[in-house]
Amino acid sequence: MVAVPDTGVSPHPDLTGNLLSGINIVDGGRSNGHGDQNSHGTGMAGLIAAHGQDNNQGARGIAPKSKILPILIAGTNNQSSPDDLGKAIDYAISSGASVISISSAGGSSPALREAIKSGLAANVLIVAAAGNRPADNHVGYPASAEGVIAVGGIDRDGNRAAISVTGPEIDVVAPAVDIYSTSLNGKYRKGTGTSDATAIVAGAAALIRSKYPYLPAREVAHRLTATAIDKGPPGRDDEYGYGVIDLVAALTADVPPLGFESASAPVGAGPTTWAGGERGDDDGAATARGLATLGVILAAGVGWAVVARRRRRSDDPPPRISR
């Protein structure tokens, strides 16, 4: 389950069956988060979990079998408060979300900082947007928080998107320019910003958590950074972090763990399941799913250039989450 604290999520044919009943923080929890007067939240949900329609029509997200928990914290102006975001995170934790996708950046508050700590302590993977120029000139909160995956953006040529802020907190980057997704009234939108890149990374995290359900959140983050395609100066840098996410590698590569945690299921734990509960997917299916997803990203108009993987220098520090 991926929680999306945003402007709410409008029901859409491409999200049928994947949209859970959530909450509207703004109205005190009196509705289920399915209203969206802005389209931003609906677009983020589509990038994560849209499954398209019959005859190959519609949009297809990164993790089309995942479930979306909509949490409405902003209205038509897409503005919210740190405290409301903190409430949204607490709700996501209590609802059992394994990933929280936060496509916003701004200031913090004691309540929000505590909610972030609670989420990380509860083994929830938190992915957040770095921020957009010119309104932002540094990595905003909660992306700047330790333990949160901070996402920047690349353009159609595979270079840092002009809109994407930079900073030492950046962990990974993903497509952020001219991204097509779901919108209001069954229609579609085209967006540009680190919001879209964040939803793409959150979808990737959902796939990893589905394939490796016993992998701790910090190891899922490690998979994303360790398998990213290096850009800029060798190793980590303030524009690209550890590089462009590589979904196929993140799902299939042999990545040494950060610690002693194991991705193996405990004895008697039962079979592994993909998001949505389907059983029996193997590594081959995971690879095919990843390749199909990359094709969708390209078809959606991102078209970023293929970048040759550069070897990391032996003296580079090991991949890590935000410092």
Residues with catalytic function = 6, 40, 195
CA nearest neighbour of 176 among 198, 150, 207: 198
For helices 194-211 and 283-299, the axis angle rounded to 10 degrees is 170
Exposed (0-12), middle (13-18) or buried (19+): which is 92, by Cβ within 10 Å? buried
CA 289 to chain centre: 17
Residues 6+ apart with CB under 8 A from 317: 235, 236
Strands (E), the chain: 2-6, 23-24, 51-53, 57-60, 68-72, 99-102, 125-129, 149-154, 172-175, 179-182, 188-191
Residues 6+ apart with CB under 8 A from 21: 32, 33, 34
Is residue 50 within 8 Å of 2, Cβ to Cβ?
no
C-alpha 141/C-alpha 303 separation (Å) is: 29
The pair of three-digit structure tokens given for residue 219, joined into one six-digit string: 């190891």
Pure H helices in 274-318: 283-299
